[in-house]
Structure 1
């Protein structure tokens, strides 16, 4: 009985380690489709806008849909060590929110 439980656990862990790349691949594919269709701007365009507002290194980016509107959420690290959170309308590139992360 213990052997079956151990086997099940090993199989479960193997599947868990394989599933995330497929999820990311689907996200990448969906994002590329949205960019090609013109529904959202490219990451390069959003990164350029973010760096004009606050020079620094992009450390995290997310694309979310909120009330039917795509939003890029960007975290940017300044050379001084300050981290800024920015939200951009993914279609227009309009800055929606800018705040320093604690």
Structure 2
């Protein structure tokens, strides 16, 4: 089960760290309708990539003038490879992917 912004388990018992400040910022942004729930983002990722979420960060990005909220998600794949996904929290779109995919190709879609 997932609760709020902190994920305790996904596919197997795994500890996922989320900064308490991230949690409060996400709660506020969700209440204001600025972002979609983390659960919806994770469901989309689960459909595309097998593995366990090991870390989630929630951050505000205005470096490129976009002024948007992002989920940064680290996913440990069954193969042992680590994926790092940067997801637009407003619409769930994966903006950036680093690491090896299940097709064993190294991805870095900067």
Q: TM-score, normalised by structure 2?
A: 0.64
Structure richer in helix, relative to its length: 1
Q: Which residue of 2 aligns with 1:55?
A: 50
Please, what is the CA RMSD of the aligned residues? 1.9
Q: Give the structure with the higher percent strand.
A: 2
Instruction: Figure out how many residues of one structure are paired with residues of the other and give that number.
Output: 79
Give the alignment of 1:1-102 within 5 angstroms: 24=20, 26-67=21-62, 68-100=67-99
Relative to the length of structure 1, the TM-score reads 0.69
Indicate the structure (1 or 2) with the bigger Cα radius of gyration: 1
Displacement of 1:28: 2.3
Shifted more, 45-54 versus 82-91: the winner is 45-54
Structure 1 runs of 4+ with >4 Å offset: none
- CA distance in structure 2 between the partners assigned to 1:27 and 1:61 by the alignment: 9
